[in-house]
Each structure stands twice: as C-alpha cells, then as structure tokens.
Amino acid sequence: MARTLPTLHETDLEAALLRKSVGSLTATRATCEDCGRTPLVGEHLYRYGAHVVVCALCTRRHRTEPDAVELVRHSERGQTVKIIAARAA
C-alpha cells in the first residue's frame, strides 16, 4: 500500500528558514542585562565584571566605573574578503 508524503509548500519553507536565521542571529547578539535592549551598530557596550553587559542608556544605574567599553560592530566584521597587495620579490 502506497503512503502519501506530506507536501512542503514554498511558504512553509520560507517561514522555517526565516525562523532559523532569526534564531541564529539572536543567539549571538549582545543584549543589555538591565533593559534587554539590543544596542545598534556604532553604540557602546559597557562591561561590569565578567558577565554583566549594559547599554549606554543603562550605565547611569551602575555606580562603579565599567571594566571595559566596547563598540558594537556589524555582524559580518572579520568575515569579509581582504585584498592583499602582491609584494615584489
């Protein structure tokens, strides 16, 4: 007896791929520990201790100076092709 296979429509595939890509992006992004906001590219993140990262808006809530200040960079930073000039031997 032949079984019928469930059909996969284009909209189902598109939705599944979108969910997967958004999930992978949210897993690696930095979020503020206080407000949960994701800082935009070009904003500064402030690190307090090993695991506490806050955005520029929430630094006023912390009385101590941050241990480190980092610039939020684009997600593709470091993954671009770099052209290296050929050196004459």
pLDDT at 5 over 60: no
Q: Do 58 and 43 touch, CB atoms closer than 8 A? A: no
What is the rounded CA–CA span in Å between residue 50 and residue 27? 18
Burial per residue of 29-57, b for 16 or more beta-carbon CB atoms within 10 angstroms, e otherwise: eeebeeeeeebeeeeebbebeeeebbbee
> The tokens of 58 are what?
């929430």
pLDDT at 20 over 70: yes
Tell me which residue has tokens 């806050």.
54
pLDDT at 86 over 80: no
| Domain-wise residue ranges, the chain | 30-75
pLDDT at 83 over 80: no
User: Which of 28-32, 62-66, 85-89 has the lowest average pLDDT?
Assistant: 85-89
- The number of angstroms, rounded, from the C-alpha of 38 to the middle of its chain's C-alpha atoms is 9
pLDDT, tens digit, 9 for 90 and up, residues 29-61: 778 888 988 888 889 999 998 888 899 899 988
